[in-house]
Amino acid sequence: MQTLEAEDCYYPEARNTVGIVPSEEYTSIELTGTDRPGLLSEVCAVLAGMQCAVRSAELWTHNTRVAAVVQVTDAAKAAGGAIEDEARIADISRRLDNLLRGQNVVRAAAAASLTHKERRLHQMMFEDRDYGAAGRPDPRTEVSVTHCAERGYTVVVVRCRDRPKLLFDTVCTITDMQYVVHHGTVSSEAGGGAYQEYYIRHVDGHPVSSEAERRRVVQCLEAAVERRTADGLELEVRTDDRAGLLSDVTRIFRENGLTIRRAEISSEDGEAVDTFYLSDPQGHPVEAKTIEAIRAQIGEATLRVKNNPLADDGGSSSDVAAGSTAFLFGNLFKFYRPFQNFGLIKLY
């Protein structure tokens, strides 16, 4: 069971941060800052140089901002485990902070160690105010916020392209904004669209009360939908794990002029499975000659093209995860089944 807890609501200015959270099995590193080409490659190079083995990681970019949660183990010890040397942790934090060119914040273990990784990324980007950064929302995403005077609710309607984990993303953001969902309806629409309708109040029991607050709800939900969306080339690297692998792969992307829009990194039982969503620095699709150059450097058997917008068949290979309307909640909710009394939300 995963509980989506409410947190104190505040809106700090956008900043670059590094947080390092220790545990027994691994050390969790949290990064937020201004996105730029090659940033993940530089982070991986620093971690490799500090003898940190990346166990898993996830990176999102949105509106020129980047957030990442990286779980590392101590490659200097045969048994692995978390990095225990406080001086070494401070050195890692300092080096990463230099890359981000901003101030350094180290969070206490209670702040993040038990939080779901994707849940934490939503919190980090919300705190970083990625919703307020320059950038136009996807025209396929429509959010309306209206007042229901007779019931004392604010009605939020989200229409967008359907995809996996859409409910999770919107509910996380509603909770982060300190609202309670009292009733809701969800459905899949023709053409691969999704429809979500929420009846919300603030935790103090009041509906949205000002135009500025209404605009912020719209911006935050647009950001929640778009953070996980990554159009472009999708590559999977699957190979035996080794020290410095992630550093080498991301360096190859950087040297071929590619920007990582999103990344999902995992390593288990000696096998690394890494998925990257790539484009050129201007956001354009990756050309075929660039893909072939990367394939030659990484290896034919290791690299797998899962989605290529420039492919002759119009987009995706047979390996691409289906984008059908059933993805909104899998088979849990289908065709306007209501869910009531979310309170502060518990997902099972």
Rounded CA-CA distance 237/321 in Å is 16
Distance CA 345, CA 175 (A): 8
Cβ-contact 124, 11 below 8 angstroms: no
The average pLDDT across 68-78 equals: 89
What integer is the mean pLDDT of 84-111?
70
E strand or H helix that includes residue 183: strand 179-189
pLDDT digits (tens, 9 = 90+) for 258-277: 999 999 999 888 899 999 99
pLDDT at 134: 59
Q: Which CATH superfamily is domain 142-227 in?
A: ACT domain (3.30.70.260)
pLDDT digits (tens, 9 = 90+) for 285-303: 899 899 999 999 988 768 8
**pLDDT, position 116:** 83
Handedness of CA 39, 109, 125, 338 (dihedral sign): positive
pTM: 0.78
- Confidence check: pLDDT of 185 > 90: yes
Q: Are 113 and 68 in contact (CB under 8 A)?
A: no
Q: What is the pLDDT of residue 331?
A: 32
Q: Which of 70-79, 100-109, 208-217, 284-293 has the highest mean pLDDT?
A: 208-217
pLDDT in tens, 189-224: 888 999 999 999 999 999 999 999 999 999 999 999
Domains 17-130+231-307 and 142-227 share a fold: yes
Instruction: Give the per-residue pLDDT at 315.
Output: 41
Q: Which residues contact 81 (CB under 8 A, 6 or more apart)?
A: 24, 25, 26, 73, 74
- 283 by Cβ neighbours in 10 Å (0-12 / 13-18 / 19+) ranks as exposed
- pLDDT given for residue 284 in this prediction: 84
pLDDT, tens digit (0-9, with 9 covering 90-100), for 40-68? 999 999 999 999 999 999 999 999 899 99
How high is the pLDDT of residue 320? 33
HSE, CB side, 13 Å, CA atoms: give it for residue 92: 32
The reported pLDDT for the residue numbered 313 is 47
Asked if 133 and 220 touch (Cβ cutoff 8 Å), the reply is: no
pLDDT score at 222 = 95
Q: Which of 34, 63, 28, 60 is nearest to 47 (CA)?
A: 28
Domain layout of the chain by residue ranges: 17-130+231-307, 142-227
141-157 pLDDT tens trace: 999 999 988 889 999 99
Average of per-residue pLDDT across 222-231: 89
Contact criterion met (CB below 8 Å) for 290 and 258: yes
Domain 17-130+231-307 has CATH 3.20.20.140: no
